[in-house]
């Protein structure tokens, strides 16, 4: 009997504090029109000073567990995708495990920045197909506001905080059909945070603890790379573009999303777009979009979904699944 990893519940969470484009007009040289036209973003949510990545992850995780009808006793694998962990160690996954009163199962973080949730789904799928887990909690959670220079208009308009989660269960019904994960570290300096634990970068322009990005280069790479991942995914599954019911992309920039939809010859009505409501939340953005479309009834059981993302590293990847 075939064993598939099937999503049985989703959840998401956004912090209460919202920062609009008009709010940013008061702090940096920008405008609501400029931000909307170039990114599609209208608002982003910011964690409060006492709110951590694990706090956000816990809210999303509990909602996903409730949707799937699962308790702590059912969870036998926890993977958290994040680039903004609460601590150097232990992992945010271990912290979340304690919050949820789950004991004994494997729990670890994945760091693939914006592609993190897609990576995490791919890893959880392998665990379940290989018999190493039966019920996995997969979370993407970020507090990117902690590493954004709010005086630098190029990046401060783009990023926000949030979390999304999914429960994956072993099933004899098709679930995740394939995952395709890639990276190329040659391009690290186009989108990175220079500072680190073991590396002291020395004199640099700007704070080494903040996101630094060469936007035009990142945009071109993202569009080209995501176009290739679409072809790779369809070819691997013997599918045509018309076989995809929904595109659930990384929510970074409406122009990148539109370009990927064009590659699929997919009308924007079949693309889940939430970037306007939360900006780029890195590893949280794909599960945030997925949960939104599940809960508002757009995504229905039995439909075919293509999830894709591109992030710092560079990393990129896709997951094709039957919902």
Q: What's the confidence (pLDDT) of residue 112?
A: 98
Number of domains in the chain: 2
Active site residue 22: no
Res. 202: pLDDT tops 60 = no
User: What pTM does this model have?
Assistant: 0.97
d(CA 281, CA 238): 32
CA proximity to 84, closest of 297, 280, 323, 289: 280
Residue numbers of the domain that contains 257: 177-322
Whether residues 28 and 128 share a domain: the answer is yes
Handedness of CA 65, 175, 252, 211 (dihedral sign): positive
Buried b (16+ CB within 10 A) or exposed e, 170-206: bbeeebbbebbbbbeeebeebbbbbeeeeeeeeeeee
Whether residues 42 and 120 share a domain: the answer is yes
Cβ atoms of 116 and 110 within 8 Å: the answer is yes
Whether residues 45 and 152 share a domain: the answer is yes
Distance set, CA 130 to CA 45, 102, 109, 124, 166 (Å): 38, 22, 20, 10, 19
Q: What's the confidence (pLDDT) of residue 145?
A: 98
Whether residues 74 and 169 share a domain: the answer is yes
Whether residues 165 and 211 share a domain: the answer is no
Angle 257-261-266 (CA atoms, 0-180°, nearest 5)?
A: 150
Q: For residue 233, what are the contacts with CB-CB under 8 A and spacing of at least 6?
A: 178, 180, 306, 308, 318, 320
- CATH code of the domain containing 28: 3.40.47.10
Domain end call among 124, 151, 173: 173
Q: What is the pLDDT of residues 207-262, one digit of tens each?
A: 788 999 999 999 999 999 999 999 999 999 999 999 999 999 999 999 999 999 99
User: Which listed residue (45, 180, 182, 250) is catalytic?
Assistant: 250
Domain end call among 145, 173, 201: 173
Q: In the predicted model, what is the mean pLDDT of the chain?
A: 96
Mapped onto helix, strand or coil, the DSSP state of residue 111 is coil
User: Which listed residue (21, 54, 156, 280) is catalytic?
Assistant: 280
Whether residues 165 and 184 share a domain: the answer is no
Cβ atoms of 278 and 160 within 8 Å: the answer is yes
Q: What is the pLDDT of residues 128-186, one digit of tens each?
A: 999 999 999 999 999 999 999 999 999 999 999 999 999 999 999 999 999 999 999 99
Active site residue 156: no
Whether residues 140 and 194 share a domain: the answer is no
Whether residues 181 and 132 share a domain: the answer is no
d(CA 270, CA 293): 10
Domain end call among 140, 157, 173: 173
305 DSSP β-pair partners: 246, 321
User: Which listed residue (94, 114, 135, 156) is catalytic?
Assistant: 114
Band of residue 274 on the pLDDT scale cut at 50, 70, 90: very high
Q: What is the pLDDT of residues 115-132, one digit of tens each?
A: 999 999 999 999 999 999
Stretch 274-302: mean pLDDT: 98
Whether residues 159 and 184 share a domain: the answer is no
């Amino acid at each position: 009997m075939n064993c598939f990893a099937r999503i049985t519940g989703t959840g998401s969470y956004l912090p209460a504090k919202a920062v609009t484009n008009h709010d940013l007009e008061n702090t940096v040289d920008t405008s609501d029109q400029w931000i909307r036209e170039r990114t599609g973003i209208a608002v982003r949510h910011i964690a409060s000073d006492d709110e951590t990545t694990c706090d956000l992850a816990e809210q999303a995780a509990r909602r996903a567990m409730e949707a799937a009808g699962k308790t702590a006793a059912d969870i036998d694998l926890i993977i958290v995708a994040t680039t903004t962990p609460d601590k150097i160690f232990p992992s945010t996954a271990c912290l979340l495990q304690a919050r949820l009163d789950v004991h004994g199962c494997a729990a670890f973080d994945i760091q693939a920045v914006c592609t993190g949730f897609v990576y995490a789904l791919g890893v959880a799928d392998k665990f379940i197909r290989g018999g190493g887990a039966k019920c996995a909690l997969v979370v993407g959670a970020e507090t990117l506001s902690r590493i954004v220079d709010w005086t630098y208009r190029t990046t401060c308009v783009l990023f926000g905080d949030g979390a999304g989660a999914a429960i994956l269960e072993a099933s004899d019904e098709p679930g995740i059909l394939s995952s395709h994960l890639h990276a190329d570290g040659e391009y690290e300096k186009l989108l990175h945070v220079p500072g680190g634990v073991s590396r002291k970068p020395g004199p640099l322009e700007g704070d080494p603890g903040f996101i630094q990005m060469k936007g035009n280069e990142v945009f071109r790479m993202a569009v080209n790379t995501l176009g290739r991942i679409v072809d790779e995914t369809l070819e691997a599954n013997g599918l045509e573009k018309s076989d995809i019911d929904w595109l659930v992309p990384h929510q970074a920039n409406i122009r990148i999303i539109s370009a990927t939809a064009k590659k699929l010859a997919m009308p924007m009505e079949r693309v889940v777009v939430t970037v306007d409501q939360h900006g780029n939340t890195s590893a949280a953005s794909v599960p945030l979009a997925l949960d939104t479309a599940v809960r508002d009834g757009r995504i229905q059981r039995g439909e075919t979904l293509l999830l894709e993302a591109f992030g710092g590293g560079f990393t990129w990847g896709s997951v094709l699944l039957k919902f």
